[in-house]
Structure 1
Amino acid sequence: MKRLFSILAITFLMAIGTVNANATTTFASATATVTSVTQEEAPAEDLTFHQELKKRFIEGGPGFMGIVLLCLILGLAIAIERIIFLNLSTTNTKKLTQNVEDALNSGGIEAAKEVCRNTKGPVASIFYQGLDRAEEDIDAAEKAVVAYGGVQMGQLEKNVSWISLFIALAPMLGFMGTVIGMISAFDKIEAAGDMNPSLVAGGIKVALLTTVFGLIVAIILQIFYNYIIAKIDSIVNDMEDASITLMDLLVKHKK
């Protein structure tokens, strides 16, 4: 009897162990399945704007995208150089005019020329040229101011035409990339003899990306170009107003 109870007890323990083992295996399998499904269903991590831009740029191909990027780099370099130059060329015209008038009244032409020498900017340079010819007559001073004003305007507008070139060139390169991409897509269709979307998707995608990046470059450079043109117009207006004021001061000083 004791032997029978011992056998039953051992059998019961083995059954419990088997059930536990099967349950553990089943749970592990279920856990692995759930984990796999979760990983498959989990959405892809969202890329940042910089990462997305870099990804799309690489997908566009190194050929036309590299040229479009070069247009952006060169255009921005020229634009930044012009902005720095124009900001340094900006002068407080009212203050300069007042200083020149005070110098004329106190020390004459030479004192006014010294004030202009110590002041930076195209307006001060124009004043100096006019004062330098003032001892001859008013007409000579006016001609010197007009002539040197044209020289200073040329300095202000230097290299601005290159920015407008890159503004026009970037989208044209993008459109050329679009045309080449479409031609490549149709070549693949002709070679395959079948209208399979997978054959043409890559070429069309590259074509559209080159167009998008070309337009982005043109928009960025256009903003800088308009700012530079507005800054040049402002400085030129100051130069013209200051030139008229200088002539009035010289006439008054002659009298």
Structure 2
Amino acid sequence: MKKLFVLMMLAGAMSFGFTGNAVAQEEETTTQESDTAQAEESADTVVSEPDTLPTAIAAEEEEEVVEEEQTFHQVVKEKFIEGGWEFMSVVLICLILGLAIAIERIITLNLATTNTNKLLANVEEALNQGGVEAAKEVTRNTRGPVASIFTQGLMRMSEGVEMVEKSVIAYGSVEMGRLERGLVWISLFISLAPMLGFMGTVIGMIGAFDAIEAAGDISPSLVAGGIKVALLTTVGGLIVAVILQLFYNYCVSKVDSLVNQMEDASIALVDILVKHNLSK
């Protein structure tokens, strides 16, 4: 009986060991399969994310760009209205008129620019070949204030070189006045735009204090409204003044350049005429 009992225990132990090993092997197999599945899913996720990520980023950037473009125009319109259309409209009119005059002056001054060296050479050649009348024909067919001054000087050639010099100086002042025409209006708008902005500032502050007096209490919303209007009108006036100031300085520098050309060319013309008289 003891041997039979021992044999039964050994058989049970061996069968339990095989069963445990089988269960352990099944658990290990299941664990490996689950790890493999997770690795494959993570790999799929890693592979799929780079495909979807640039598309999502691009879509977000496009939406942001569209929003920024729409917001810019809306903000300009809203700020113009919030600043008070009464003063903002006057400031805008100053900008439009000032730009119109500045553009007209820039075009006129650029057209008035003349190649003085070439003109002097042509006048000298015409004097040597055809006399004063040929030289006057050259200057009349040339555009610009320098040619006009030359024409006036050559018309006084019969009265002597001294009269030519006086005529050139006198007519040079006339041409300089024509070149500077319209600049005073640009200067006016440069001064007027900030003053209108400051006037809107004062009126906005008065409106804020009137609202405080009517409410009987200092509320941030009441004060902020008037201050906002004041700041917007001031900014509008300053922006207009800055833009027009740039155009004004360009026009002034162009006029100075043309005046220097006229003076140098006039001196050269007198020298050419003196040389021509001595060569007769």
Per the alignment, residue 53 of structure 1 pairs with 76
Q: CA deviation at 1:165?
A: 0.6
Q: Match for 1:105: what amino acid?
A: N
Query: Which position in structure 2 is the counterpart of 1:134?
Result: 157
| Corresponding residue number in structure 2 for 1:93 | 116
Q: Which residue of 1 aligns with 2:15?
A: none
Cα offsets for 1:40-81 (capped at 9, x unmatched) = xxx994345443222211211111001101110111111011
**Cα separation, 2, equivalents of 1:187 and 1:139:** 72
Q: Residue 173 of structure 2 is aligned with which of 138, 150, 175?
A: 150
How far, CA to CA, are the matches of 1:49 and 1:129 in structure 2? 56
> 1:135 is paired with a residue of what secondary structure?
helix
For 2:73 and 2:237, the matched residues in 1 are separated by 17
Structure 2 residue ranges without an equivalent (≥5)? 1-63
Provide closer, same or farther for how the CA distance between residues 242 and 182 of structure 1 changes in structure 2, counting only shifts above 3 A. same
TM-score norm. by structure 2 comes to: 0.74
Structure 2 residue aligned with 1:233: 256
Q: What are the residue-to-residue correspondences of 1:1-255 with 2, within 5 Å? A: 45-46=67-68, 47-255=70-278
Question: Over residues 163-215 of structure 1, what are the superposed CA-to-partner deviations in whole Å (9 max), with x where a residue is unaligned?
Answer: 00100110011011001100100110111111111112211111100000000
Identity, % of aligned pairs?
72
Q: How far apart in 2 are the matches of 1:90 and 1:45? A: 47
**What letter is aligned with 1:109?**
V
Q: TM-score, normalised by structure 1?
A: 0.81
Letter in 2 for 1:111: A
In the alignment, residue 70 of structure 1 is paired with which amino acid? I
Select the structure of larger CA radius of gyration: 2
Deviation of the 1:120 alpha carbon? 0.4
Write the distance in 2 (CA, Å) between the matches of 1:228 and 1:253. Answer: 37
Mapped to 1, the partners of 2:67 and 2:183 lie a distance apart of 43
User: 1:45, 1:119 → 2: CA distance?
Assistant: 55
| Shift in CA distance, 247/48, structure 1 to aligned 2, threshold 3 Å | farther
Structure 2 residue identity aligned to 1:133: R
How far does the alpha carbon of each residue in 1:140-161 deviate from its partner, in whole angstroms, 9 at most, with x for none?
A: 1011101110110010001110
Amino acid across the alignment from 1:173: L
Aligned residue pairs, count: 214
The whole-number CA distance in structure 1 between the counterparts of 2:73 and 2:123 is 53
Offset from partner CA, 1:83-104 (integer Å, 9 cap, x none): 1111111111111111111111
Gaps of 5+ in 1: 1-42
- Give, in whole Å, the separation in 1 of the partners of 2:251 and 2:221: 46
- State how far apart, in whole Å, the 1-side matches of 2:260 and 2:153 are: 17
